[in-house]
Amino acid sequence: MSEQDVQILEREVCYQGFYRLEKLSLRHRLFSGAMGPAISRELFVRHNAVCVLPYDPQTDTLVLLEQFRIGALDNRAHPWLLEIVAGLIDEGEQPEQTAAREAQEEVGLEFTQLIPIMQYYPSPGGSDERVHLYLGLCSTAGVDGRVMGVAAESEDIRARVVSFAQAMHMLETGKIDNAASIITLQWLAMNKAKFT
């Protein structure tokens, strides 16, 4: 099936702020071949994003970023998560440019090489966001403990340099519990021999 198998009956903007929420009334073709009944769905409209796992193959270390996340406020003992470099792709920007900009803003890093991992939809049942994942080769020297971020965006981000083994332990024990970090760490575990 393709987009010709979807009929948008109505599209309404319910909220417009940093993000946008739309309400759609639509019909789509069923696997039987018939057109289905009209359904109503909300769509969380976001810019596409880039996430990069900073990795130093010389020392087998990587950089994790610790920061407050509103989405974890009601579901965790504390809402400070361990994540990787990430940001929304600005209008007219390529994903690789976003990766370089965010690495500078969040932790003051420069990547010597960006290796594409994959792209995916983190929550396609209600959001149109698509995430571009990369491994960013870099030096982690002098990065541990840095606190950075864009003040105008109320960012307060602390860098933590950890060994690959420590990161895998954090993953196994649930201390790293967000999709982009999990996917990139598992990808690195499967492909690390290529870089060391």
- d(C-alpha 147, C-alpha 154), whole Å: 13
- d(C-alpha 28, C-alpha 46), whole Å: 23
Write the single-letter amino acid at 196: T
Residues in the chain: 196
- d(C-alpha 7, C-alpha 189), whole Å: 43
Reference 160, options 56, 68, 67, 64; nearest CA is 64
| Helix 164-172 × helix 179-191 angle, to 10° | 130
Contacts 24+ apart (CB under 8 A), 13-16: 14/42
DSSP letters for 125-142: TTB---EEEEEEE---TT
**Enzyme catalytic residues:** 153
Write the single-letter amino acid at 21: L
